Structure 1
Amino acid sequence: MDTNKRTFIDVIWRLIMFICALTVIFPLLWIILESLKTNKEFFANVWALPSQFRWENYKNAWEMYHLGSTMLNTLYYVGVSLALGTFLATLSAYTLTRVEFTGRKFIWGTIMISLFLPGINALVPQYVLMRDLGLTNSLTGLVILDSFGESVFFLMLLGGFMQSLPKEMEESAFIDGASLFQVFIRIILPLSTPGIVTVAIFKFLGLYNSFLGPFIYLSDAKKYTIGVAMYHANQLMQYKADWVTLFAGVTIAMIPTIIIYIVFQRQISEGATLGGVKG
């Protein structure tokens, strides 16, 4: 009897998951199909299949929206922010969870309190600070802002993972004469690789899809990231109706995140529970 109930519940959950998956996959497939039509076909029937695949729409989108330079801007912004931000998050998590010093609990508690403060509240003071430092309209300024303005979520994720590591290995290294930095580099970093990879994946997805920060701080079109570039491309549709080229641009913009998800889908799925069990 219990087995039948579990089986029925499993079927219901699988059906719900299937419907949720369709709500994500269907819009993606629809955009790709629309990007292969002509504008005439698009306005005639948005649900019909294209009579012929118009691959030139992708070439037009690449040239019209300057996606080559935009991708380079995004690569610099995401790449440097990812490397620097992940290292700083790992270093901060190690310091706050493994190193004993006066005021550590107070600092950690203050950081936890910030979880209850909406991030939008910091938008104005951040902008004023960036403006006074001359870092507006600068990709490097965005890198600094995203790297040093660390997310509490990543600190909690890495902190919970590091707390599960045995303390004896650090103590043995200190007895052998290792410095604090050597312990961090040679012991903590290798053992924390699963947590660091998970944080790096989430940071990449967040940075690549970031819109508000680049939209506010970048005023030069030559410095736009992919999110801002596609926003302005969408705004152009108020004056011209070249929707198929826009869909082609959106499809190009989606490719990196889709590749990252396909390659690291297991780590992304496991990331939600990382550090939740202490050993």
Structure 2
Amino acid sequence: MEGMREKRTIIDVVWWVLLIAWSMAILFPLLWVFYQSLRSNPSFFQDVWALPESLNWMNYKNAWIKYGIGNAMLNTLYYVGVSLVLGTFLTTINAYALTRIQFKGRKLMWALIMLSLFLPGINALIPQYVLMRELHLTNSLTGLILLDSLGENVFFLMLLGGFMRSLPKELEESGFLDGASIFQVFMRIIFPLSIPGIVTVAIFKFLGLYNNFLGPFIYLSDQSKYTIGVSMYAANQMMQYTSDWVTMFAGVMIAMVPSIIMFMFFQRWIMEGATLGAVKG
């Protein structure tokens, strides 16, 4: 018995050390970028590991103005905010229809959705671009919103669908007996009970939209419409001419703030919602 306890303790220590090492591998680059963002360019090029003589917080102001991060943040807020609300609502409606409503062709539709998992998303890039160009939606944040909102993500649909499938059908039947319509049952019964799963999907959608680079990079040609990801890419391209690395590091730190805040305050929702969707589905 004591041997088993000792063995488990050794295993726990090994896992603890591995997790600490993994955490440090993730945190070290972030701390290094933050450290470099407070230095001056001469000291940076002289020795990247030397301690800064003074903290240059002006680098953040320069990044906000010089690289247009303020305008990019407003564009990102519009793009992410509208896409998040519209896309999450459509995902919720689709999950409800495919899991709670019986209609002909439902199983075939689910089979086609599952089949799409085997198709790389990059294959749809050219047809999507041609369609967006023909509809005159390129170089438009609104067009990008429509593309991301109407393009359903199978993972989110499966996650939320599995959560909704676990709800008792008696809840809907009691609503129908009281004369409620399908939409009323959805809004007054299913939607409130599915809040944990919906919040989880919304958080994942936010992180995906905020970190989305390929879509805005392809469809946006006007620099005044750049999102934060494309704006930072443009700033990186400028380094071959300006070499103002400390200002770019400051811009990178500003760009990471929303994602860090999201992880800090909503990590419990992410874990609980993902677990509920997986177990009950």
Tell whether the structures are fold-level matches, with TM greater than 0.5.
yes
Aligned partner of residue 277 in structure 1, secondary structure: helix
TM-score (norm 2): 0.97
Distance 2:153 2:12 in 1: 36
Asked whether the 8 Å contact 1:198–1:271 carries over to 2, the reply is yes
One-letter amino acid of the counterpart of residue 237, structure 2: Q
SS of residue in 2 equivalent to 1:50: coil
Q: 1:171 & 1:7 partners in 2: Cα distance?
A: 52
Q: State the secondary structure of the residue aligned to 2:280.
A: coil
Q: 2:261 aligns with which of 232, 255, 259?
A: 259
Please report how far the alpha carbon of residue 32 of structure 1 lies from its aligned counterpart in structure 2 after TM superposition.
0.6
CA deviation after TM superposition for structure 1 residue 271, in Å? 4.3
- Deviation string 1:54-100 (CA, Å, 9 cap, x unpaired) is 00111111110111111110000000000000000000000001100
Structure 2 Cα separation of the partners of residues 92 and 10 of structure 1: 43
1:270 Cα deviation (Å)?
Answer: 3.3
Between 45-54 and 25-34, the greater mean CA deviation after superposition: 45-54
Identity %: 69
Cα distance in 2 between the residues matched to 1:119 and 1:39: 41
1:226–1:253 Cα contact (<8 Å) kept: yes
Contact 1:130-1:136 within 8 A present in 2 as well: yes
Q: Residue 195 of structure 1 corresponds to which residue in structure 2?
A: 197
1:47 corresponds in structure 2 to: 49
Q: Please, which runs of 5 or more residues in structure 2 have no aligned partner?
A: none
Match status 1:205 vs 2:210 = no
Counterpart of 2:182 in structure 1 is 180
1:273 aligns to what SS in structure 2? helix
- What amino acid maps onto 1:39 in structure 2? N
Residue 154 of structure 1 corresponds to which residue in structure 2?
156
Q: Is the 8 A contact 2:196 2:273 kept in 1?
A: no
Q: What CA distance in whole angstroms lies between the structure 1 residues aligned with 2:47 and 2:65?
A: 27
Looking at structure 2, the residues matched to 144 and 207 of structure 1 have their Cα atoms a distance apart, in angstroms, of 13
Contact 2:76 2:210 (C-alpha < 8 Å) held by counterparts? yes
Is the Cα–Cα contact under 8 Å of residues 216 and 226 in structure 2 kept in the other structure?
A: yes
SS at match of 1:276: helix
Tell me how far 1:278 sits from its aligned partner. Answer: 2.4
Matching of residue 68 in structure 1 with residue 70 in structure 2: yes
> In the alignment, which residue of structure 1 is the partner of 2:231?
229
Q: Moved runs in structure 1, 4+ residues, more than 4 A?
A: none
Count of residues in Structure 1 that have an aligned counterpart in Structure 2 = 279
Residue 150 of structure 1 deviates from its aligned partner by 1.1
Is the 1:73–1:225 contact (alpha carbons within 8 Å) kept by the matching residues of 2? yes
State the distance in 2 between where 1:211 and 1:5 align.
Answer: 47
1:125 corresponds in structure 2 to 127
The secondary structure found in structure 2 opposite 1:210 is: coil
Which consecutive residues of structure 1, in runs of 5 or more, have no partner in the other structure? none
SS of 2:275's equivalent in the other structure is: coil
Q: What amino acid is the match of 1:97?
A: T
Residue 268 (1) aligns with residue 270 (2): yes
CA displacement, residues 220-249 of structure 1 (integer Å, 9 cap, x when unaligned)? 000000000000000001111100000001
Query: Structure 2: how far apart are the matches of 1:191 and 1:81?
Result: 23
Please say if residues 164 and 277 of structure 1, whose CA atoms lie closer than 8 Å, have aligned partners that are also in contact: no
> Residue 246 of structure 1: which of 245, 248, 269 is its match?
248
| Paired residue secondary structure (2:277) | coil
Of the three residues 78, 81, 91, the one matched with 2:80 is: 78
